[in-house]
């Protein structure tokens, strides 16, 4: 999985914001376990020792990250750091050229470099020269760096070499038995430190340690031997294998389930759009169907007569010009026809009131009856319509019936019940207790709960040594339960074995109070 598509599938499957095990990740935090003491030792030796300092460890032991942390933790106003890479530039001239360029020296020579170091010392600045991949240095380059570390009467830079263990025999040979360098060998992480390192990496990418099972964590620690660079590689391969296994099982059940979530969502949206278009198309076809109009051809017999009892009163036979064409009924001002019953219901009238209204309106809308008029015989062809005058029958005026209308009372809204005052939200219990602990002390993290009531229940059920605090995880509050306060990590680890079996089943792990206090401050 080295292609861009594979990387996107990896991030999408686990919902990572970025690859948590890449060499350089955004917002990376230096992991202090087994490395913070070394970092403090380097600062101490740089201040009080006159020796060249060597940080040794196998590939993937975190030498480069330690070098970056050393540069980042120095006082920029008091220390000028020059980082040199021995990759492809292992001879003395190339090394001195990089040092001179970093110190803005015109001549890449040892006396000129030492003179510039002396000038910076007069202004109160020290010079750190840090050589990465120092195992690639030639013996001549090692000799030049030893001479640079010795310095002169004007000044002396502090030289740090970050190299694999294979450099040490060569350096001893070049030193010819003189005590001119000091070696600090990096140590691998323990299983608990591997777990903490993985948790920090995953939290930086928006997930938690629960992405990995306990068996996976144990396997990652055994394969990597506790070296952080190898932990990154093995952890990424383990997650990819688990992803492929799940997708392989899903593909056996159906192809659609092997697609990424965003692709499935896109298919669902398209399917919904197609169904909506299909239903809308069916409605349009039904709406635009033209009305069927029955027409009687001229010269044919009339339809069968209705019985005398059911037949309506005879109407005058009137022919209109163009009777064989449908006549649309124009509406004045493009207005819509008025339907009385729904309007009456919408106005809130009762059945009796609605009937009265229709009766009064019907009395004014009924057309007067017309006198029978004999039909005029029409010629055979073409048919010419003859205008007919209808004599209206005089109808006495009808007095309008005025019915008193009961006043409509506006519906009163239901009374609003006074709400009980909302109690101010109290901060998570135990915040003051955590603030009172020294940052160097340790506690055991038991579990995390999304609801504060869950954390309170655990604390209440287990005793006074249990506390909890509130932090922010993926933009939501998380309540973390801890146990005890211990002076060292080893003491916390020893106390872990004394906890009840049901508590140990949650895999508690030691944490220092400095990190917890920082999380509490960020959650406020």
- Give 101-120 pLDDT, tens digit per residue: 999 999 989 899 999 999 99
Nearest CA-CA partner of 63 in 236, 222, 227: 227
Q: Checking phi first, is residue 27 left (phi over 0); if not, alpha (psi -120 to 50) or beta? A: left
Neighbours of 342 (CB within 10 A): 9
Contacts of 470 (CB under 8 A, 6+ apart): 427, 428, 431, 452, 477, 478, 479, 480, 520, 523
Average pLDDT over residues 374-400: 44
Burial class (CB in 10 A: 0-12, 13-18, 19+), 260: middle
Mean pLDDT over each residue of the chain, to the nearest integer: 74
Phi, psi values for residue 68, rounded to 5°: -65, -40
Max avg pLDDT among 278-292, 370-384, 457-471: 457-471
Give the per-residue pLDDT at 22. 86
Give the per-residue pLDDT at 260. 62
Going from N- to C-terminal start, the domains of the chain cover 4-20+191-256, 36-185, 431-523
Distance set, CA 245 to CA 21, 125, 239, 248, 252 (Å): 20, 57, 10, 5, 11
Average pLDDT over residues 163-174: 90
Give the per-residue pLDDT at 314. 46
For strands 79-85 and 181-185, give the pairing: unpaired
Q: Which of 23-27, 192-196, 197-201 has the lowest mean pLDDT?
A: 23-27
Q: Say if CB 226 and CB 232 are below 8 A apart.
A: no
Q: How far apart are CA 4 and CA 84, in angstroms?
A: 32
Give the per-residue pLDDT at 283. 53
pLDDT tens per residue across span 253-265: 554 445 566 667 7
Q: Say if CB 231 and CB 220 are below 8 A apart.
A: yes
Q: How far apart are CA 32 and CA 38, in angstroms?
A: 9
- Residue bearing tokens 């109808």: 395
Give DSSP secondary structure letters for 367-423.
Answer: PPPB---PPPP--SSS--------PBPP-PPPPPPP---PPPPPPPPPPPPPPPPPP
Average pLDDT over residues 413-431: 46
pLDDT tens per residue across span 83-102: 998 887 789 999 999 999 99
Residue 250, classed as helix, strand or coil, is helix
Distance set, CA 65 to CA 75, 235, 383 (Å): 18, 18, 106
Confidence of residue 252 (pLDDT cuts 50, 70, 90): low
Confidence of residue 368 (pLDDT cuts 50, 70, 90): very low
**What's the token pair of residue 233?**
């590689």
Give the per-residue pLDDT at 448. 85
What whole-number percentage of the chain has pLDDT above 70?
Answer: 67
Centroid of chain to Cα 25: 17
DSSP character for 487? S
Confidence of residue 428 (pLDDT cuts 50, 70, 90): very low
pLDDT at 306 over 70: no
Contacts of 445 (CB under 8 A, 6+ apart): 480, 481, 482, 508, 509, 510, 511
Give the per-residue pLDDT at 117. 92
Q: Which residue has the higher pLDDT, 498 or 373?
A: 498
**What's the token pair of residue 464?**
């006074």
For strands 509-512 and 442-449, give the pairing: antiparallel
Q: Which residue has the higher pLDDT, 69 or 299?
A: 69
Assigned fold of 36-185: Rossmann fold (3.40.50)
pLDDT at 342 over 50: no
Give the per-residue pLDDT at 259. 57
Q: Say if CB 18 and CB 205 are below 8 A apart.
A: yes
Give the per-residue pLDDT at 177. 80
pLDDT at 488 over 90: yes
Q: How far apart are CA 182 and CA 51, in angstroms?
A: 6
pLDDT at 246 over 50: yes
Give the per-residue pLDDT at 454. 86
Give the per-residue pLDDT at 421. 39
Q: How far apart are CA 29 and CA 188, in angstroms?
A: 18
pLDDT at 346 over 60: no
What whole-number percentage of the chain has pLDDT above 90?
Answer: 31
Average pLDDT over residues 177-186: 88
Q: How far apart are CA 499 and CA 492, in angstroms?
A: 11
Q: How far apart are CA 162 and CA 323, in angstroms?
A: 105
The per-residue b/e assignment along 490-522, b for 16 or more CB within 10 angstroms, e otherwise, is: eebbebbeebeeebeeeebbbbbbeebbebbee
pLDDT at 477 over 60: yes
pLDDT at 62 over 50: yes
R_g of the chain computed on alpha carbons? 46
Q: How far apart are CA 394 and CA 204, in angstroms?
A: 95
pLDDT tens per residue across span 230-240: 999 999 999 99
pLDDT at 154 over 70: yes
Give the per-residue pLDDT at 1. 41
Nearest CA-CA partner of 431 in 508, 521, 514: 521
Give the per-residue pLDDT at 407. 47
Confidence of residue 220 (pLDDT cuts 50, 70, 90): very high
Q: Which of 20-34, 62-76, 395-409 has the lowest mean pLDDT?
A: 395-409
- Residue bearing tokens 């038991």: 446
Among the CATH numbers 3.40.1190.20, 3.30.420.40, 3.30.70.1070, 3.40.50.300, which is that of 431-523? 3.30.70.1070
């Amino acid at each position: 999985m080295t292609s861009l598509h594979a990387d996107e599938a990896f991030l999408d499957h686990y919902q990572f914001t970025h690859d948590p095990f890449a060499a350089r990740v955004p917002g990376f935090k230096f992991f202090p376990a087994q490395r913070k003491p070394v970092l403090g030792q380097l600062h101490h030796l740089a201040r009080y020792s006159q020796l060249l300092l060597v940080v040794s460890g196998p590939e993937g032991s975190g030498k480069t990250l330690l070098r970056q942390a050393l540069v980042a933790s120095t006082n920029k106003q008091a220390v000028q750091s020059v980082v040199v890479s021995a990759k492809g530039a292992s001879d003395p001239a190339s090394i001195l050229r990089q040092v001179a360029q970093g110190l803005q020296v015109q001549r890449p020579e040892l006396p000129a470099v030492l003179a510039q170091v002396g000038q910076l010392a007069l202004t109160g600045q020290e010079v750190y020269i840090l050589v990465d991949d120092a195992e690639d240095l030639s013996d001549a380059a090692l000799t030049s760096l030893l001479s640079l570390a010795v310095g002169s009467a004007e000044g002396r830079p502090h030289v740090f070499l970050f190299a694999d263990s294979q450099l040490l025999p060569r350096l001893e040979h070049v030193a010819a038995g003189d005590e001119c360098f000091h070696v600090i060998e990096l140590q691998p992480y323990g299983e608990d430190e591997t777990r903490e390192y993985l948790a920090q990496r995953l939290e930086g990418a928006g997930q938690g340690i629960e992405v990995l099972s306990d068996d996976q964590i144990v396997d990652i620690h055994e394969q990597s031997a506790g070296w952080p660079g190898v932990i990154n590689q093995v952890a990424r391969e383990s997650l990819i294998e688990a992803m492929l296994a799940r997708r392989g099982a899903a593909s056996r059940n159906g192809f659609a389930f092997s697609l990424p979530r965003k692709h499935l969502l896109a298919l669902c949206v398209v399917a919904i759009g197609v169904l909506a278009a299909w239903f809308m198309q069916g409605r349009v076809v039904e709406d635009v169907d033209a009305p069927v109009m029955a027409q009687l051809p001229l010269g044919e017999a009339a339809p069968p007569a209705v019985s005398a009892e059911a037949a309506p009163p005879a109407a005058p036979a009137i022919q209109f010009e163009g009777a064989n064409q449908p006549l649309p009924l124009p509406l004045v001002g493009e207005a819509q026809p008025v339907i009385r019953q729904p309007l009456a219901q919408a106005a809130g009238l009762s059945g009796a009131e609605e009937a009265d209204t229709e009766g009064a309106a019907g009395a004014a809308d009924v057309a007067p009856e017309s006198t029978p008029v004999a039909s005029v015989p029409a010629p055979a062809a073409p048919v010419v319509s003859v205008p007919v005058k209808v004599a209206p029958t005089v109808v006495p005026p009808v007095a309008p019936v005025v019915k008193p209308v009961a006043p409509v009372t506006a519906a009163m809204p239901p009374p609003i019940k006074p709400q009980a005052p909302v109690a101010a939200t109290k901060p998570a219990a135990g915040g003051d207790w955590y603030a009172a602990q020294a940052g160097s002390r340790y506690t055991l993290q038991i579990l995390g709960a999304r609801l504060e009531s869950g954390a309170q229940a655990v604390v209440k059920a287990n005793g006074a040594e249990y506390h909890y605090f509130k932090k922010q995880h993926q933009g939501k509050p998380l309540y973390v339960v801890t146990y005890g306060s211990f002076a060292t990590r080893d003491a916390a680890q020893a106390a872990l074995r004394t906890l009840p079996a049901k508590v140990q089943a949650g895999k508690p792990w030691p944490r220092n109070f400095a990190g917890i206090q920082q999380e509490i401050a960020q959650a406020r």
